Amino acid sequence: DQQVKQNSPSLSVQEGRISILNCDYTNSMFDYFLWYKKYPAEGPTFLISISSIKDKNEDGRFTVFLNKSAKHLSLHIVPSQPGDSAVYFCAASAEGTYKYIFGTGTRLKVLA
């Protein structure tokens, strides 16, 4: 049973436009959500996170939105740059567990 789902395996966006990556979860105990970026042959690197007490968190070009009632979060990248081309994973954790469940990833390609 996939508790964290990223239903779009890939996404292509023109440089300068907005990239929107989506993530859905099923476990209502999850209260912390993270996004990671992964380049080929490297380990994932942390991008941005959000706690369930918030509905939005912004860091530069990256904004994460959380809709708890829909069990849905999204990552917005504005403006998208070619260097953003990577695989993006969302992850979720329940308070105090320090266990993380990852989605299957979305490959973003930003076209110059």
Partner 1 sequence: DAGITQSPRHKVTETGTPVTLRCHQTENHRYMYWYRQDPGHGLRLIHYSYGVKDTDKGEVSDGYSVSRSKTEDFLLTLESATSSQTSVYFCATHTSGESYEQYFGPGTRLTVT
Rounded to 5°, the CA angle 50-106-82 comes to 95
Q: Which of 13, 21, 34, 73 touches partner 1 by CB under 8 A?
A: 34
Q: Which span (12-20, 64-72, 76-84, 100-108) binds partner 1, by CB under 8 A?
A: 100-108
Q: Which of 69, 70, 98, 112 touches partner 1 by CB under 8 A?
A: 98
Rank residues 5 and 76 by Cβ distance to partner 1 and give the closer one.
5
Rank residues 20 and 48 by Cβ distance to partner 1 and give the closer one.
48
Q: How far apart are CA 12 and CA 85, in angstroms?
A: 9
Tell me if 80 contacts partner 1 by CB under 8 A: no
Q: Which span (44-52, 55-63, 64-72, 78-86) binds partner 1, by CB under 8 A?
A: 44-52
Contact in structure between 71 and 26 (CB atoms under 8 Å): yes
Tell me if 86 contacts partner 1 by CB under 8 A: no
Q: Which of 78, 102, 71 is nearest to 89 (CA)?
A: 102
Residues 3-22 that bind partner 1 (CB under 8 A): 6
Q: How far apart are CA 41 and CA 59, in angstroms?
A: 26
Contact in structure between 75 and 48 (CB atoms under 8 Å): yes
